[in-house]
């Protein structure tokens, strides 16, 4: 029996949707919201946004190359992102993620076993969903919470899941 399969185009479409929602949430930050942080030791909203511009690509490169030698340089580069350049940086990341995904044989991904970043062997397709796509979803939710906690009390479920207001 064949398992659930996702095409490369569907994955990129899902990542595009998440990118759009993330951009919407970033644009909804109240004045001063980029500096907000839940506690002194946690990332500020701007630091979260910067991280979000490299998170998925770092994992996409891992899936193709099998290591994290690239991660530090990519993370450092993301620290140059500002609130004004964030949306463009997210679009650029999606383009690069798409390019890295082009290197993967999605027809074989459900049976090709690889080592996940947490050192567990599993199907490449599962690692793709749990890492590349999963980071978009997880950090989108964190950004939603940051934006609300920073003072945007008008954000609701539609903003978080659809990238638009219900109004």
Write down the domain spans for the chain.
Answer: 8-162
> How far apart, in whole angstroms, are the C-alpha atoms of residue 62 and residue 68?
6
Q: What would the pLDDT profile of 130-144 be if each residue is shown by its tens digit? A: 999 999 999 999 999
Amino acid 167: pLDDT: 72
Q: What would the pLDDT profile of 59-118 be if each residue is shown by its tens digit? A: 999 999 988 999 999 999 999 999 999 999 999 999 999 999 999 999 899 899 999 999
Amino acid 166: pLDDT: 81
- Which CATH number applies to 8-162: 3.40.640.10, 1.20.120.450, 3.40.605.10, 3.40.50.11240? 1.20.120.450
pLDDT band at 5 (very low <50, low <70, confident <90, very high): confident
CA angle, corner 28, sides to 75 and 155, nearest 5?
A: 115
Residue 110's alpha-carbon distances to 38, 74, 106, 124, 128, in angstroms, are 39, 28, 7, 6, 10
Give every CB contact of residue 40 below 8 A, 6+ residues apart in sequence. none
Q: What is the DSSP letter of 68?
A: -
pLDDT band at 1 (very low <50, low <70, confident <90, very high): very low
Whole-structure pTM value: 0.94
Residue 122's alpha-carbon distances to 116, 128, 134, in angstroms, are 7, 10, 16
> How far apart, in whole angstroms, are the C-alpha atoms of residue 44 and residue 38?
8
Amino acid 6: pLDDT: 84
Q: What would the pLDDT profile of 22-50 be if each residue is shown by its tens digit? A: 999 999 999 999 999 999 999 999 999 99
> How far apart, in whole angstroms, are the C-alpha atoms of residue 44 and residue 50?
10
């Amino acid at each position: 029996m064949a398992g659930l399969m996702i095409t490369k185009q569907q994955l990129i479409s899902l990542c595009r949707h998440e990118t759009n929602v993330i951009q919407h949430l970033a644009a909804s930050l109240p004045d001063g919201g980029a500096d907000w942080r839940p506690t002194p030791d946690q990332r500020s909203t701007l630091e979260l946004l910067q991280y979000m511009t490299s998170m998925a690509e770092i994992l996409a490169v891992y899936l193709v190359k099998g290591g994290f030698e690239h991660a530090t340089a990519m993370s450092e580069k993301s620290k140059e992102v500002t609130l004004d350049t964030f949306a463009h940086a997210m679009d650029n990341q999606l383009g690069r993620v798409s390019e890295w995904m082009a290197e993967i044989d999605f027809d074989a991904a459900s049976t090709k076993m690889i080592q996940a970043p947490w050192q567990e062997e599993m199907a490449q397709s599962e690692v793709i969903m749990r890492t590349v796509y999963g980071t978009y979803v997880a950090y989108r939710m964190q950004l939603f919470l940051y934006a609300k906690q920073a003072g945007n009390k008008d954000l609701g479920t539609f903003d978080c899941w659809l990238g638009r207001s219900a109004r």
